Amino acid sequence: MRLVLGSINIKGVEFAPDTKLENGLLLINKDQLVTHLKQDNRIESIDIYIARPGESIRILPVKDVIEPRVKVEGSGNIFPGFIGKVDMVGNGRTHVLKGAAVVTTGKIMGFQEGIIDMIGPGAEYTPFSHTFNIVLKIEPSIGLSQHEHENIIRIAGLKAAAYLGETARKLIPDEEEVFECNNFIQGLEKFPALPKIAYIYMLQAQGLLHDTYVYGVDAKGILPTFMSPTEIMDGAIISGNCVSACDKNTTYVHQNNPVIQELYKRHGHDYHFVGIIITNENVTLADKERSSGFTAKLAKMLGIDAAIITKEGFGNPDADLTMNCRKLEQKGIKTVLITDEYAGRDGCSQSLADTTPEATAVVTAGNANETILLPKLTTVIGHIDAADSIAGGFSGSLRPDGSIEVEIQAITGATSEVGFTKLSVQSY
């Protein structure tokens, strides 16, 4: 499969009479976009805001972040299974509004939502303080279930991203990148001497608003599956999660997964990047055993030498992570794990809920229990009172002066377990 990603660099976003993209400036007719999204009669109200880097704006509670894109050539549509037909993606040409993001917010549906600050100390922890954010504040009708509520906001975010992506359909990109994924036999012939590497991509699928979608299918109903990296880069995986904001893989993160991008950079030079095995994070022991067993079996059948494993969330998913690690290592496949830690506010508690002797190469994305004081900002988009109930917050997090004391797990993307984060290691 061969995918060309053409990026149009976004230099600004403004409301205007017509929705279009001119010289890097994204212009949006707010009324037209609201009308487009309110075709869902379960939506009570929609307000649209723009949050630019450096502005004194706080977005809370954040549900999802999505990168606007448009499928220009090749099969399928952007966000298959949700927008248009369910055709295979990962081939042809897709145009990207690089630097723009659709952010969804509204009344909280699950306690594990997040904060994006566009300025101040909180902005130093979220990668989305540097994007031009088109913020949808959506309030569904009263009386809907939490799952209906989540579905309404998720679909509205995807529709908005697809709507804005259309502005780039006929434009010439500022930059282009080409990504190819050979079939297995071609790869062996092309890179016979290179070690074979796969990426084990664990998807949150525990239910109770902890869901991820693959071509529109809830991942908790799948068995581990082999996929081309270009499919994931082209919108095949969508977030439906209300997990802790710090390590939530938003849809934007799936579209721009750093592990996939880094593996491609060294593909054909240091190793042969064979592809991706997606697997789900489960609740019961039997389901964990089944999925990890299938993952190890697929990896062995592919003949890979090593694998990178990432997860989403903490606690229960730690067992899936260590189980995948152990079974691959026992089959002679070397593993590297990427995870964040919940080591207590003093950093002295056990970092993970589970471990295994085979986990000898582990990369940390940071301790999500660290606390931070976020000063009052001029504008809040969403509902400020959610600060006391989101994961990482507590009763009294929202102070009388408008500042917020929280753990960094409340900040969207703070300790991303695929490395889509601003934290890094500093040596002394």
**Region of residue 311 (left: phi > 0; alpha: psi -120 to 50; beta: else):** beta
Structure tokens at 414: 């703070």
Calpha distance 250→252 (Å, rounded): 5
- Strands (DSSP E) contained in 362-418 are 362-367, 371-374, 379-382, 404-407
Of the listed 181, 242, 246, 325, which one is catalytic? 242
Structure tokens at 324: 């995948």
Who's near 271: CB < 8 A, 6+ residues apart?
194, 195, 196, 197, 306
> Is 348 annotated as catalytic?
no
Tell me the helix, strand and coil percentages in the chain, rounded to 5.
25, 35, 40
Exposed, middle or buried, 287 (CB in 10 Å: 0-12/13-18/19+)?
middle
Specify the DSSP element, H or E, that contains 321: helix 316-330
Calpha distance 212→220 (Å, rounded): 8
Going by the DSSP 8-state scheme, the letter that residue 385 receives in this structure is G
Place of tokens 């592809």: 275
Who's near 394: CB < 8 A, 6+ residues apart?
388, 406
**What is the CA angle 250-71-83, rounded to 5?**
60
Active-site residues, by number, are 242
